[in-house]
């Protein structure tokens, strides 16, 4: 191998085909997740964002192609080793009834424990750090199902942080939260990303949040990646019209810099959610 | 430095140790009572003398051939059913699951009924084989029934499939007994759930099966805790969810098959005990399962002692006592807000 070639990113997909049973979601998809950067995935509902995260995190076996973690086929690595490297917060996570915040965070330590090992000082420290980072220390003894939506989401984030993985995959972590909680959570992810250099991949619905927080944006449509790059390069009126079916003006964000999207009006419903009546034979 | 979180975590840890110690003491007392109480009361001094083999032929005979086996069996069966119930509730994420509700008991009973009817085997140790086969058959059938169509078996579908299959299997077993009076007769004391009238040597094989199941259960605690967060989270934490499920099913089958073979179907214990342990210790399998392993034998030994004295000279099978105690407790649990159903 030549030394001049830039080092491949730790997490990448090489021509993968993603499918559930006999339903193919995406074909021949390749992507490199840039190390240490904050990548945001956007795309219409049902375009395969969650499926991509599941494939990248070894939850879904790809039909063909390979996902590489540190240059190794992710399905040939030990599950617990992968888990120590890569943490996932799924889109719908429901805590068992009655479990406390501390208990939930504690379970994130699973990949660092073995059958016979006891709860160590290191485990304890990791959980404390995770609770402090998510500002959940005070609520540690409260049952998760009695918390507000924002607090509950933070409890789950604490669980993933306790895992101490260097790569974080977050599937719609801000959906269902009010705007203040969305921003405080995104600030937390941005801070973790810049302070600790954790590679972070998040699926978001708000394009302006994507523009504001992402180093890189991946735009998906119909199981394909249609654009991948810094927000300024990716978020063009043409792309927004093509993928989301919205007519938009892109201006300079007067407060934070970077692109800011203002939608004019809807031109058409994206094909992935449009009724297909006309196409029926 | 003041550290609220650490302090609490530590407190829950030491509380658990305290609870375990208290329960162990309770179990020892229950065992002593079980050895003493019955149609003839044996004083503690005579028990000690009898156990050490000194003097008092009569007491020694009563203890060694009657009460000791009976108590030992109640302990082993209690551990088996408590553990199996806790595993079932973890597996199905259903706080009201137990081997009875999921049809495993009925499968074991049908296995034994068939064995009795065909006259294949009648000793307790050999009855374990058809009981295990029946339990395994029921478990696999429930799993298959619940996962027909798309997606994995959800807790609700498993419970429905278990109740339905359990009814069918029980029906078949009942029909077999009604058509053949001698099967009915031989089956009668066994089916009512009894820990009486067995000898210690019959217990060895059963105890080994239960031990295997219990050790397996203890190894599964942390994976089961992760699986409780949902399959995706568990898998992302590195848990092999399928292997965890399979091993859980194997453990339950071993435990229920073995317990049913020696004591007949004992209802409610596997449902009630883990549920109470969850209320006491929180929704954490690393606590619920070990606690159930102590509470269930405690309850069963006490129930069996009560069964001996409740109607003097006519000993009530312990299965009936647990049902009488268990049903009201179950109703109390379901009626209040004490049930953390999802
Ligand atoms: N477990 C599954 N089995 C079958 N199809 C699925 C499953 N999960 C998702 N899908 C389908 O795959 C497509 C992509 O889903 P998903 O990746 O969840 O989209 P997104 O996260 O972008 O909204 C959708 O059409 C969805 O219906
Ligand atoms: Mg999704």
Phi and psi torsions of A170, nearest 5°: -125, 115
Provide the sign of the torsion angle of the four alpha carbons A100, A104, A106, A107, taken in this order.
positive
Q: Report the pLDDT value the prediction gives residue A279, as an integer from 0 to 100.
A: 41
For residue A219, the domain's CATH number is: 3.40.50.300
Q: Which atom of ligand 1 is nearest to the CA of A172?
A: 21
Q: Are the C-beta atoms of residues B278 and B340 closer than 8 Å to each other?
A: yes
Q: CB–CB of B219 and A103 under 8 A?
A: no
Q: Which residue has the higher pLDDT, A255 or B169?
A: B169
**Residue B40 covered by a domain:** no
Across the A:B interface, residue pairs with CB atoms under 8 Å apart total 97
**Which residue out of B3, B6, B238 would a mutagenesis test of the A interface target, given it has the greatest number of A Cβ atoms within 10 Å?**
B238
- Give residue A65's domain range: 11-266
pLDDT in tens, B60-83: 777 777 788 888 888 999 999 999
CA A143 to chain centre: 26
Domain of B317, CATH number, reads: 1.10.3470.10
Report whether pLDDT(A200) > 80.
yes
Query: CA nearest B286: which of B205, B232, B230, B218?
Result: B218
Whether B35 is covered by a domain: the verdict is no
Residue A59 covered by a domain: yes
Which candidate from A92, A103, A159 shows the least CB-CB separation from B282? A103
| Residue A42, beta-bridge partner list | A219
CA nearest A12: which of A59, A81, A65, A91?
A65
B282 CB neighbours in chain A (<8 A) are 98-100, 103
Q: Is the CB of A92 under 6 A from ligand 1?
A: no
The secondary structure element, H or E, covering residue B34 is helix B4-36
Structure tokens at B162: 């278990």
ipTM of the prediction: 0.88
Q: From CA A93, how far away is CA A107, in angstroms rounded? A: 14
Q: Provide the CB-side half-sphere exposure for B9 (13 A, CA).
A: 22
- Is B179 part of any domain? yes
The count of domains in chain A is 1
- Ligand 1 pocket: which of A22, A26, A29, A46 to mutate (most atoms <8 Å of CB)? A46
**Is residue B211 situated within a structural domain?**
yes
- Rounded to whole angstroms, how far apart are CA atoms A209 and A93? 22
Name the residue of chain B whose CA is nearest to A164's CA: B237
Beta bridge partners of A67: A13
pLDDT at residue B101 greater than cutoff 80:
no
**Does A273 fall in a domain?**
no
- Model confidence at A281, pLDDT cuts 50, 70, 90, reads very low
Of residues B307 and B135, more confidence is placed in B135
Residue whose entry in the numeric block shows the structure tokens 């299959």: B165
pLDDT winner (highest mean) among A26-35, A260-269, B29-38: A26-35
Q: In angstroms, what is the span from residue A132 Cα to ligand 1's centroid?
A: 34
Q: Do B5 and A107 touch (CB under 8 A)?
A: no
Give the residue numbers spanning the domain of B191: 65-335
Q: What is the pLDDT of residue B168?
A: 92
Sign of the CA dihedral with B110 first, then B116, B121, and B127 last: positive
Q: Is the CB of A53 under 6 A from ligand 1?
A: no
Can you tell me the distance from the alpha carbon of A66 to that of A14, in angstroms, rounded to the nearest whole number? 5
Confidence of residue A264 (pLDDT cuts 50, 70, 90): confident
Quick one: which H or E segment has residue A25?
Answer: strand A23-33
Residue A187 lies in a domain: yes
Q: For the residues B186-201, what does the mean pLDDT come to?
A: 61
The CA-based dihedral angle spanning residues B271, B18, B337, B302, taken in that order and rounded to the nearest 10 degrees: 40
Cross-chain residue pair B238–A138, CB shorter than 8 Å: no
How far is the C-alpha of A270 from the C-alpha of B335, rounded, in Å? 49
**Cα distance from A204 to chain B (closest Cα, Å)?**
19
- The verdict on residue A190 lying in a domain is yes
Q: Label residues B312-338 b or e (16+ Cβ within 10 Å = b).
A: eeebbbbbbbbbebbeebbeebeeeee
Find the mean pLDDT for residues B259-272: 83
- Cβ contact, residue pair B278, A131, below 8 Å: no
| Under 8 Å between Cβ of B196 and B70 | yes
pTM of the model: 0.84
Asked if residue B34 is part of any domain, the answer here is: no
Is the minimum distance from the CB of A23 to ligand 1 under 6 angstroms? Answer: yes
Return the best residue to mutate from A18, A23, A175 for the ligand 1 pocket (most ligand atoms within 8 A of CB). A23
Rg (CA), chain A: 20
Number of independent structural domains in chain B: 1
Using an 8 Å Cβ cutoff, are A161 and A192 in contact?
A: yes
Least Cα distance to B134 among B262, B270, B263, B256 occurs for B256
Say if residue B9's pLDDT is above 70: no
Q: Is residue B10 part of a domain?
A: no
Give the residue-averaged pLDDT of A160-173: 95
């Amino acid at each position: 191998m030549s030394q001049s070639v830039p080092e491949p990113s730790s997490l990448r997909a090489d021509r993968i085909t993603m499918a559930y049973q006999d339903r193919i979601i995406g074909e021949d998809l390749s992507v490199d997740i840039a190390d240490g950067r904050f990548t945001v995935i956007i795309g219409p509902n049902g375009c395969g964002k969650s499926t991509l995260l599941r494939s990248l995190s070894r939850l879904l076996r790809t039909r063909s192609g390979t996902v590489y973690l540190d240059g190794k086929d992710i399905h040939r690595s030990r599950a617990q080793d992968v888990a120590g490297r890569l943490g996932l917060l799924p889109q719908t996570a429901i805590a068992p009834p009655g479990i406390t915040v501390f208990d939930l965070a504690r379970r994130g330590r699973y990949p660092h424990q073995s059958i016979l090992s006891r709860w160590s000082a290191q485990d304890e420290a990791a959980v404390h750090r995770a609770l402090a980072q998510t500002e959940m220390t005070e609520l540690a003894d409260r049952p998760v199902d009695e918390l507000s939506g924002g607090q509950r989401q933070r409890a789950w984030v604490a669980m993933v942080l306790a895992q101490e993985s260097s790569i974080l995959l977050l599937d719609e972590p801000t959906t269902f939260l009010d705007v203040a909680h969305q921003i405080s959570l995104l600030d937390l992810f941005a801070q973790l990303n810049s302070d600790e250099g954790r590679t972070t991949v998040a699926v978001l619905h708000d394009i302006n949040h994507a523009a504001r927080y992402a180093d890189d944006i991946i735009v998906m449509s119909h199981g394909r990646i249609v654009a991948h790059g810094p927000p300024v390069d990716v978020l063009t009126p043409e792309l927004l019209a093509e993928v989301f079916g919205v007519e938009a003006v892109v201006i300079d964000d007067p407060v934070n810099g970077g692109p800011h999207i203002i939608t004019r009006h809807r031109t058409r419903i994206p094909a992935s959610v449009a009724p297909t009546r006309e196409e029926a034979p | 430095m003041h550290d609220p979180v650490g302090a609490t975590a530590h407190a829950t840890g030491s509380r658990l140790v305290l609870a375990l110690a208290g329960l162990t003491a309770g179990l020892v007392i229950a065992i002593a009572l079980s050895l003493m109480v019955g149609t003839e009361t044996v004083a503690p001094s005579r028990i000690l003398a009898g156990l050490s083999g000194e003097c008092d032929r009569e007491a020694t005979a009563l203890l060694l051939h009657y009460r000791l086996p009976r108590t030992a069996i109640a302990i082993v069966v209690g551990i088996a059913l408590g553990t199996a119930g806790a595993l079932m509730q973890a597996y199905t994420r259903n706080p009201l699951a137990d081997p009875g509700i999921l049809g495993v008991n009925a499968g074991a009973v049908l296995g034994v009924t068939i064995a009795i009817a065909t006259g294949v085997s009648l000793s307790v140790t050999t009855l374990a084989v058809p009981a295990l086969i029946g339990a395994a058959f029921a478990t696999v059938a429930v799993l298959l029934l619940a996962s027909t169509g798309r997606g994995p078996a959800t807790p609700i579908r498993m419970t429905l499939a278990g109740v339905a299959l359990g009814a069918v299997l029980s029906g078949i077993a009942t029909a077999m007994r009604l058509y053949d009076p001698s099967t009915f007769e031989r089956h009668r004391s066994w089916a009512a759930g009894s820990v009486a009238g067995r000898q210690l040597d019959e217990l060895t094989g059963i105890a080994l099966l239960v031990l295997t199941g219990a050790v397996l259960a203890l190894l599964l605690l942390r994976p089961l805790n992760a699986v409780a967060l949902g399959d995706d989270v568990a898998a992302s934490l590195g848990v092999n969810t399928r292997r965890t499920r399979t091993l859980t099913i194997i453990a339950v089958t071993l435990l229920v098959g073995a317990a049913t073979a020696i004591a007949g179907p004992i209802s409610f214990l596997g449902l009630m005990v883990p549920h109470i342990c969850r209320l006491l210790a929180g929704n954490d399998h690393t606590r619920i399962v070990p606690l159930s392993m102590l509470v269930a034998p405690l309850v069963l030994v006490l129930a069996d002692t009560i069964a001996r004295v409740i109607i003097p000279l006519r000993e009530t099978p312990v299965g009936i006592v647990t049902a009488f105690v268990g049903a009201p407790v179950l109703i109390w649990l379901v009626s209040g807000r004490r049930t953390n159903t999802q």
